[in-house]
């Protein structure tokens, strides 16, 4: 299943023609114009002990589309250059078949962070073969969280990183990931591929931040209009940091593309989120 329909692709082609080479720019240049987006996410007072925790996030490689190993290697290098405390991969490593994830993992194997490298699966990973994708990620030391949580510690202050299955595929289960949750349990950072799942959990008092991908930031955005087309489960939170109630969500634009392989006003993104003490 594609992010864009054939009709939408025609519309984008017309937009590119009207822009005098815009489509060529989006395909040949902006698609590889990798940006490190640095964001500061404020904490609630009771979670201030986690201030300065740095999380690097990347999503939506869609590696089997173009299999651009050199570009992925560049992404990995830039992530490591940020010296994050924690790295979270937010799904859609492939689009249609699972076999190319083996080659992708040869690059992801070089990711390094003191608190570890964790992953969740996206809807395309389930369509391609969730168990196969999980096996290859695990092979290179990346812990895949499928409705599971891992307790971590930052300067001796515990928190839980919870990872869910794909919401689109009805595999996301927050309660299963945190079965014994109480108000005195450690705060939670949640990774789930589809951002609109945030509407179901944003009132949870333990939730600090949800990390998601899925939207590609729209992949193609029109000036003064924004994202032209968005997928299911990716319509409410498109790109960047949002707040609802006392929780936040950050949605990364991702690094890969689905057909048509164009980015316009929406460059590929590595996200670096630093938790900061409240004012």
pTM of the model: 0.91
What's the pLDDT at 184?
A: 82
Separation between Cα atoms, residue 41 and residue 34, nearest integer Å:
22
Q: Which residues, other chains included, contact 110 with Cβ-Cβ below 8 Å and sequence gap of 6+? A: 73, 76, 77, 80
Out of 26-30, 64-68, 156-160, 231-235, pick the least confident: 26-30
Judge whether residue 258 has pLDDT over 90: yes
Judge whether residue 96 has pLDDT over 80: yes
Rounded to 10°, the helix 123-139/101-108 angle is 50
Tell me the per-residue pLDDT of 138-156, one tens digit each, with 9 for 90 and over.
999 999 999 999 999 999 9
> Quick one: pLDDT band at residue 181, thresholds 50, 70, 90?
confident
DSSP E strands: which ranges in the chain? 35-42, 54-58, 86-89, 117-119, 143-144, 148-154, 157-163, 188-191, 207-212, 221-222, 226-227, 240-244, 247-251, 269-276
Q: Mean pLDDT across the chain, nearest whole number?
A: 92
Domain 6-276 has CATH 3.60.21.10: yes
Judge whether residue 103 has pLDDT over 90: yes
Task: Kindly state the percentage of the chain with pLDDT values over 70.
Answer: 90
Tell me the per-residue pLDDT of 9-46, one tens digit each, with 9 for 90 and over.
444 444 444 444 555 555 667 999 999 999 999 999 99
Q: How many degrees, rounded to 5, is the angle at CA 130 between CA 127 and CA 133?
A: 115
Q: Where are the domains of the chain?
A: 6-276
Pairing type for strands 143-144 and 117-119 reads parallel
Separation between Cα atoms, residue 3 and residue 218, nearest integer Å:
9
């Amino acid at each position: 299943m594609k992010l864009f329909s054939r009709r939408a692709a025609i519309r984008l082609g017309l937009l590119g023609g009207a822009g005098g080479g815009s489509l060529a720019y989006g395909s040949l240049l902006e698609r590889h114009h990798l940006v490190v987006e640095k964001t500061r996410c404020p904490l609630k007072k009771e979670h201030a002990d986690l201030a300065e925790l740095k999380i690097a996030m990347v999503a939506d490689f869609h590696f089997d589309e173009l299999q651009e190993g050199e570009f992925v290697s560049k992404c990995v290098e830039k992530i490591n250059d940020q010296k994050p405390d924690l790295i979270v991969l937010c799904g859609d490593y492939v689009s249609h078949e699972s076999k190319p994830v083996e080659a992708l993992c040869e690059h992801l194997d070089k990711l390094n962070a003191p608190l570890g490298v964790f992953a969740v699966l996206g809807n395309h990973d389930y369509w391609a073969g969730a168990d196969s994708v999980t096996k290859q990620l695990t092979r290179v030391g990346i812990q895949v969280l499928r409705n599971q949580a891992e307790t971590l510690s930052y300067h001796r202050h515990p928190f839980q990183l919870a990872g869910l299955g794909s919401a689109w595929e009805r595999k996301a289960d927050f309660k299963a990931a945190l079965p014994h949750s109480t108000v005195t349990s450690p705060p939670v950072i949640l990774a789930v591929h589809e951002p609109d799942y945030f509407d179901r959990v944003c009132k949870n008092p333990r939730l600090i931040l949800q990390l998601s991908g899925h939207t590609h930031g729209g992949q193609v955005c029109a000036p003064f209009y924004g994202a032209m087309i968005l997928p299911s489960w990716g319509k409410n939170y498109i790109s960047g940091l949002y707040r609802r109630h006392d929780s936040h969500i950050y949605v990364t634009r991702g690094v890969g593309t689905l057909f048509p392989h164009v980015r316009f006003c929406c460059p590929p993104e590595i996200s670096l989120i630093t938790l900061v003490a409240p004012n």
